[in-house]
Structure formats: C-alpha cells, structure tokens
Amino acid sequence: MCTKERKSVMNIKKLTLTAFFVAIAVAGSLFSFPVLGSRCSPIQHLVNVMCAILLGPWYGLAAAFLAALIRNILGLGTLLAFPGSMCGALLSGLLYKWMKKLPAAYIGEVVGTGIIGGMLSYPIAAVLMGNQTAALFTFVVPFLISTVGGTIMAIVITMTMKKTKVLARIQQQINS
C-alpha cells in the first residue's frame, strides 16, 4: 500500500471514530442535568478526553462542534455547549499532543471547558440568549462541575485501558 493510500485509510479510521464519539456525546446528553442556568453533560467531557488521546486536537474540536450542533438541533443542549465543549476538546488535544501524557489531556479538558469555556459563555448568554443577569464567571462553576465529572470518568477508563495495554493498541491501529 502506498503512502497516499495508507493516509487515506488512516483518515477514514479517524473520521469513523470521530462520528462514533459524536454519537456517544449526543446520546450521552440524555443524561444531563441543570446547574445554575446551564445544562451539564459529563459524557461530552469524557468524549473530549477520549478524542484528545485517540484522535488529536482537530478531530476532537470537530467532534465537540458536531455534538454541540446536533444537541442544539435536537433540543438537548444550549448554545453554551459550543464554547464549553470546543475549548475543552481543543486544549485537551493540544496539551496531549505536545506532552504525550494522560494528565495533560485531563487538565486541558478541565481548564479548557471549566474556565476558558465558562468565561467565553458569558457573551453568548448575554448577547445571543438575552441573559442580562449573566456575569463573566457565571458559568465557570457549573462548567467545572460538569467537566470534572466527565474527566473523572475519562481517568477511570483511560487508566484501565493503559493498564491493560488496550490504549496503546488502539492508538497504534488508528495511526497505522
């Protein structure tokens, strides 16, 4: 198989896995709960970390965007899903890509979603959603609650996968 064909097969694997993770995130949003004006969906954060580790920052960002879009179309989420999930997925993916350490992905998800995404939600809530009572840090606490829950699930799953060497095999399969 030539290099071009191999790269095409690799892209198909990554696209397929991205679609799988989008489906998990959308289905997982059925298990969401309201916290201080936002809808917390911890499965999205689990998916963000898994995408960061298995697919990289750009596929993770795409998965977060598509999941937020589908959740909004189906009425399962709010516009706040965009900055929260996308910032977490991107930072998680970038930190993991640079450091190649699982804790980097976890920290990236919590900081990206909980703090950066929470703060970026303020203008969306104020301007697009008409929430005049929102302040810069209004969504940080609920986003942190959601992302910490999902990140804890990701820690349990990824550490188990690493211990059983499944994580390395999946990463090798995706990139071969």
**What is the pLDDT confidence band of residue 136, given thresholds at 50, 70 and 90?**
confident
Separation CA 75–CA 120 (nearest Å)? 21
| CB distance 120 to 71 below 8 Å | no
pLDDT tens profile 74-101:
998 888 889 999 999 999 999 999 999 9
Q: What domains lie within the chain, and their CATH numbers?
A: 3-174 (1.10.1760.20)
For residue 81, the 8-state DSSP code is: H
Structure pTM? Answer: 0.89
pLDDT in the model for residue 2: 65
- What is the SS3 assignment for 78-136? CCCHHHHHHHHHHHHHHHHHHHCCHHHHHHHHHHHHHHHHHHHHHHHHHHHCCCCCCCC
